[in-house]
Amino acid sequence: MASTDESDPSAPPLAPNLTREISRMERTVVARGGYSIVYRAEWRPPSGPSQPVVVKVLIVSTTANDNTKVLKRLKREIRVWTRLSHPNIVPLLGFIDEPHGPGMVSPFFAEGTALQFLKKYPDANREVLCLDVARGLQYLHSQKPPIIHGDIKGINVLISPMAMPVCVTSDYL
């Protein structure tokens, strides 16, 4: 299921379909945006232990025309996100379709957003956090064509669970 034409919105996504491997999708909303709602879930890969993840489910409209636009946007985002690999960028694990979706699956970050982290740890080194965000943005801008985040804010910066927190940017398309 690979696409060689990045500009073709009808080309299939490059990420794996995880629909059958996602379970225990919680009803609690982790985050909400204009086009999507993020839920916590559990990913049970065929080999290996289950992992906590989040599923960004696109909000589907009642009109077919709007749904076509939303699905094209989803496919484009999946194709672009799949190509990205950087320590300061949230990785895409795969996508889902029915019965939960359509949506995208990424790791769950227990430390939460930068805003939540800084409230919990007010003395955290903000310079390190800002440098991590800048590294992620630099990577996005170095892509061909460049990817512009366009929505950098505390709730779109997640903190990894390492001993030394690393900011990772999310929601960039």
- Annotated active-site residue 8? The verdict is no
Alpha carbon distance 60, 72 (integer Å): 12
Catalytic residue, candidates 8, 132, 151, 171: 151
Place of tokens 């709007």: 66
Q: How many CB atoms lie within 10 A of CB 90?
A: 23
Residue type for 160, please? S
83: nearest Cα among 160, 32, 146: 146
Alpha carbon distance 74, 13 (integer Å): 9
Q: First vs last Cα of the chain: how many Å apart? A: 22
Please give the structure tokens belonging to residue 106: 């990424």
Buried b (16+ CB within 10 A) or exposed e, 136-154: bbebbeeeeeebebeeeee
Which residues are catalytic, by number? 151
